[in-house]
Amino acid sequence: MSSGADPGGDGRGEAGTPERAAKWAARAELAERAVRARYLRRLWALPGTALGVSGWPASPAQRVFGPWNYWWQAHVLDCLVDAYLRSPDPGRRARIARFVNGVRTRNGKDWLNDYYDDMAWLALALQRAEQYVGVRRPGAVQQLASALQDGWTEDAGGGIWWRLRDKYDEDFKNVPTNGPAAILFARLKDPRAYDTAHWIEANLVDPDTGAVWDGLHVGGDGGIREIDTARYTYCQGVYLGACLELATWGNDRQSDEWAERAARTVTSVATHLTVTPAPPRGGEEPSSTGLVLRGQGGGDGGLFAGILARYLTRAALTLPDFGPTFEPAAHLAAKLVLASAHAAWRNRASAPGGPLFGPEWSKAADAPRPKTPERDLSVQAGAWMLLESAALLTRQK
């Protein structure tokens, strides 16, 4: 298979077939291979380690892992787990173990970080690596979960700070921290999950549109000073994920209410955080119909839409369990993921190592230049996450 090859065309008209699932699995594997070829390296040439350089082609500082994008690495680890679940083999398992070693070594032989959102993401990835792959680091997930508990205060009615409060004189509590923390707490069967998600619902969900806002600033009196009403794909994804976890857990006997909040979030995403795909290039037939998740640039933003795609996929697979009234939202979630995956695949560029994806899946990717977002590990990991989501969706539906 060549680096730019399309394994099997666009896959239209084959919903629910093994052939369609195989096509998306092949595309996800090409994205996996591309990230491995371009970004994954031993950390400082140490045996038994692996880590992702933050850019390709890597700058001199990036080649020695100078920039430390802790939370990008957590998402690469999540994608490595996705790839293992798609096609388990000893090589993938060994790579995950090396990657976990690389993260801890680069982080000063510790799991903790100044940013609570970073720690939530690493805890989620480590928990999945243990549960599904058998790569265990005893005590790591609990240490991170305890740190998140320590970040909770009653200022602004509750919630976890974005980063260490005393060190940074922090005044910001946001959904990018509290959303993944709620998901983690729910998976650990910690009732704090409900407190955290209720806090988001009460303070950071637009009552008119159902869109999830970014965060809030706390005043000197401990009350809410200002709400940041920016709407990011990232925030919609993590709140959606939290609602689905709580609906599934059902410990508060309000599963339908949490499922309704999840369905509302899916609808809001379709209305407010999508774009129409660009016209086909050079007489191509369009490979997707429907709305595509909006990109949010390079850097950290390169991961945002991929995170949303992960939890939209979970919505598509989970919401039907709560009854027929939730099937339209599940169908919509699946359409958003598959339309976005079709668009990202159609708009890929060919490059050494495999397909190269852009930060805006509805537009053609550019060749990487010194400041183009296509260089960023975050952008390529976000697209890989999307394709793994499409592969999961088509093999389970």
Grouping H, G, I as helix, E, B as strand and the rest as coil, residue 88 is coil
Q: What is this structure's pTM?
A: 0.94
Segment 264-292 shows an average pLDDT of 77
**Count of structural domains within the chain:** 1
Query: 246 by DSSP, 3-state: which?
Result: helix
| Cα distances (Å, whole numbers) of residue 266 to 25, 91, 293, 313, 359 | 25, 36, 11, 11, 21
Tokens read off for 230: 């920016």
Q: How would residue 290 be classed by pLDDT, with cut points 50, 70 and 90?
A: confident
At residue 10 the predicted structure's pLDDT band, cuts being 50, 70 and 90, is very low
Identify the band that residue 285 occupies on the pLDDT scale cut at 50, 70 and 90: very low
Greater pLDDT, 180 or 287: 180
pLDDT of 300 above 70: yes
| Confidence band for 286, pLDDT divided at 50, 70 and 90 | very low
Phi, psi of 164 (to 5 degrees): -55, 120
Max CA separation in the chain (angstroms): 62
Decide if 12 is inside a domain.
no
- Which residue, chain included where needed, has tokens 């903790």? 112
- Domain region containing 266: 26-115+125-139+231-396
Residue-wise pLDDT tens digits, 317-358? 999 999 999 999 999 999 999 999 999 999 999 999 999 999
The answer to whether 184 and 146 are in contact (CB under 8 A) is no
In a domain, 111, yes or no: yes
CA torsion sign for 224, 229, 234, 237 is positive
CA dihedral over 119, 121, 125, 130, signed as positive or negative:
positive
Model confidence pLDDT, tens digit, residues 256-270? 999 999 999 999 999
Measured distance CA(229)–CA(223) in Å, rounded: 17
Residue 103: the pLDDT is 98
- CB neighbour list of residue 89: distance below 8 Å, 6 or more residues apart: none
DSSP code, position 291: -
CA dist., res. 176 & res. 178, Å (int): 6
The CA–CA distances, whole Å, from 291 to 41, 270, 288, 378 equal 36, 7, 9, 22
The answer to whether position 176 is within a domain reads: no
User: Does the pLDDT of residue 397 top 90, yes or no?
Assistant: no
Cα–Cα distance measured from residue 173 to residue 214, given in angstroms and rounded to the nearest whole number? 9
With H, G, I as helix, E, B as strand and everything else as coil, classify residue 263.
Answer: helix
Q: Which of 56-65, 274-283, 382-391 has the lowest mean pLDDT?
A: 274-283
Residue 319 forms part of a structural domain: yes
Q: In what order do the strands lie in the sheet with 224-228?
A: 172-174, 215-218, 224-228
Query: Strand, helix or coil at 358?
Result: coil
DSSP-based three-state secondary structure for 310: helix
- The stretch 369-382 carries a mean pLDDT of 94
- 356 by DSSP, 3-state: which? strand
Whether residue 255 lies inside any domain: the answer is yes
pLDDT computed for residue 3 by the predictor? 43
pLDDT one-digit tens code per residue, 125-139: 999 999 999 999 999
- The DSSP 8-state label assigned to residue 230 in this structure reads -
Whether 51 is in a domain gets the answer: yes
Indicate whether 368 pLDDT > 90: no
- Average pLDDT over all residues of the chain: 94
Burial of 383 (0-12, 13-18, 19+ CB in 10 A): buried
Round to whole Å and give the CA distance between 367 and 56: 11
Tell whether the model's pLDDT for residue 2 goes beyond 50: no
In a domain, 188, yes or no: no
Give CA–CA dist 334/20, Å, rounded: 14
What is the predicted pLDDT for the residue at 370? 81
CATH number of the structural domain spanning residue 295:
1.50.10.20
| 55 lies in some domain | yes
Where does residue 42 fall: left (phi above 0), alpha (psi -120 to 50 degrees), or beta otherwise? beta
pLDDT digits (tens, 9 = 90+) for 11-33: 333 456 889 999 999 999 999 99
CB-based contact 333:14 (threshold 8 Å): no
Given a cut of 50, whether residue 79 has pLDDT beyond it is yes
